[in-house]
Amino acid sequence: MISFEMTDEQKQMQDVARKFTRNQIIPAAAELDEKAQMPVDIIKGAFEFGLWNLNLPEQYGGMGLDHLTEAILLEEIAYGCLGVCGAWAGNSLGLTPILLAGTDEQKQRWLCPFGEAPLFAAFCITEPNAGSDVSAVRTTARREKEEYILNGVKHFITHGGIAQMHVVFARTGEPNSGAKGLTAFLVPRDAPGLSVGKIENKMGDRASHISEIIFEDVHVPVRDRLGAEGQGFKISMQTLDRTRMCIGAAAVGVARRAYEEALEYSKQRVQFGKPLFKHQAIAFMLADMATEIEAARGLVWQAAWKMDQGDADPKLGAMAKLYAGDAAMKITVDALQIFGGYGYMKEYPMEKLMRDAKILQIYEGTQQVQRMVISARITS
């Protein structure tokens, strides 16, 4: 039987995450956004609270949470700041490939340090000419005896260059080998030849570290190849099938924050002799927001639940990311409209929420890519 009631443990963890967000994230969010600063102290605090590395199994020192609980917690963290939540989502994205395709030896060697300290992981696939089209990756990995030599440039990489573990997708096949020529590698931050290029100055999501990474004759031992040669595309797609749900959960958090801010403001702001929420035009906007949030959360939870049953459904993951991301964008725009001119000012959180929401329609596959994933499965 399907139930939408959280377990007692999930309620307790949600309460911990909600208090942590209220006490640690929300008071710092505006300054982190203004300075485009990584929330290092917040992450250290989250590690001490047991709110870090949500998808890392207990045997490696992580939380070992089921996917539904992970979605519940990510919603709370993104409610405080999407940029801060980007560190959580970035780690989930970076850790998932090795959880899927790593050998026992690789998992022990690479994952155990994440259970001992608040470290970062990075998923390195996007390039200047390979965004939605992953098969266009140009970074190369040339094998010489018992190692590969990586050369190329990645960009728009969360935790790029600061991560202790980079999962790098490079071409081991011929230049025109497309998706079949991609292979994944595990590369440490201190690998000679790895350097940080441009650090992106973003419209929103500014507390998240996004940068370019340059690989110049980076030597990677064969033992740090993830999976077999040519399996990189499969590993990357299986990863995104699982992590798009996380973006959906974060989108629900952003949308919920915008809605609650607008609802509270509509009760306080009086126009034409009565509070804003008593005007039907505003009341209907709020009703639509509340409905869209519930619908988005339902899709996210369904996608997470399916994964917990051992059946990661690419269609549901894409639907969750698509619907929740679009809902967050619409809701933040409408919520700012309820604030009127005040919503446009930085003393209120609305303009930041709207700036942050846009990236939810872009990263981990644009909304157009999500529609490609969905349509391919409903027509097959």
Q: Which residues pair with 153 in a beta bridge?
A: 214
- 8 Å CB contact between 29 and 81: yes
State phi, psi for 296 to the nearest 5 degrees.
-65, -45
Rounded to an integer, what distance in angstroms lies between the CA atom of residue 212 and that of residue 199?
6
SS3 at position 374: helix
Distance of CA 145 to the CA centre of its chain: 37
Residue 364 annotated among the catalytic residues of the structure? yes
Helix (H) or strand (E) holding 253: helix 232-268
Q: Are 303 and 311 in contact (CB under 8 A)?
A: no
**Residue 81: φ, ψ to 5°:** -170, 125
- H/E run at residue 289: helix 280-308
Residue 160 CA to residue 156 CA, distance in Å, equals: 8
DSSP letters, 121-157, are EEEE--BTTBSS-GGG---EEEEETTEEEEEEEEEEE
351 φ, ψ to 5°?
-65, -35
- Return d(Cα 143, Cα 173) in angstroms, integer: 10
Helix 67-80 to helix 280-308 angle (10° resolution) is 140
Q: Which helix (H) or strand (E) holds 262?
A: helix 232-268
Q: Which of 75, 76, 127, 364 is catalytic?
A: 364
Could you give the CA distance from residue 69 to residue 145 in angstroms, rounded to a whole number? 44
The structure tokens listed for 48 are: 């001490």
Which 3 state secondary structure label does DSSP give 218? strand
- 8-state DSSP, 185: E
Relative to beta strand 165-171, strand 274-275 is unpaired
- Residues serving a catalytic function are 364
